[in-house]
Amino acid sequence: MSSEAESKEMKVICTLITWLDGYANLSCVDPLKIERATKLCREDVQGTWARIKGDVRTIGKLPSESERVVRLAKIVNLSRFLFFGFLVLSVIIVLFASLISPTFFSNPTYGLVALVVIAVVLNADVFTYVYSARNLSLAVKEFFDAKKDRATMERRRIRDAVQVLIDKLASRIRSAGGEPADYRFGLLDASYANIRVTKEKGRITATVNLGTG
């Protein structure tokens, strides 16, 4: 593996550490993002992910127990679908109108009305999406805040996997002769071994500590 490829892989591992630490602390990203990221790494990292993939999915499914979360998720998905659907429909209508009546859009009033209608509908849909997505994030956070005692075994195994990734990152940086400061990662929990906290304001920022382990 070239030095450039090694550097890219180490940065991916930093991202995986952040995401999986989030799961260990009930703060989730799409598991598909983790799946895709691990495919950019070598087999040892992929093996670490394979051992906890089921735990990640278990935690990721927990919010589906909340009716509010499920309802908001449906609204977000529907808004996303309607946005792209309306864009396609608008193009089809414009093309159809142009074919049926080539002079339709030569009338500035008709063109202006069409643009206003499209803009209003799209803006209403975007507003609905943004507003619902924000409420969905808050609903998921509130759900997890109230369920901190859930999935304790799964969270422990994920936390152990994060420690494994931190150690692997340290080993790779040491072997490549790299600088830990070039490979920072975010954490919600600073109790891992072999790290040095570099910034702690809201979310913790850390690097590996090559002086230990």
For the stretch 158-173, pLDDT in tens is: 999 999 999 999 999 9
- Closest of 68, 182, 84 to residue 129, by C-alpha: 84
Angle at 122 between CA 71 and CA 33, to 5 degrees: 55
**Is 70 exceeded by the pLDDT of residue 56?**
yes
Q: Are 180 and 10 in contact (CB under 8 A)?
A: no
d(CA 100, CA 117): 20
Identity of the highest mean pLDDT range in 22-26, 43-47, 126-130: 43-47
Quick one: pLDDT at residue 106? 61
Report pTM: 0.71
Q: Buried b vs exposed e over 4-39: b needs ≥16 C-beta within 10 Å?
A: eebbebbbbbbbbbbbbbbbbbbbbbebeebeebbe
For the stretch 71-98, pLDDT in tens is: 888 888 888 888 888 878 777 776 776 6
Handedness of CA 56, 201, 143, 63 (dihedral sign): negative
Quick one: pLDDT at residue 165? 97
Residue of 59 and 136 predicted with greater confidence: 59
Q: Amino acid letter at 36?
A: R
Which whole number is the average pLDDT over 65-70? 81
Which whole number is the average pLDDT over 16-26? 93
DSSP annotation of 190 reads: -
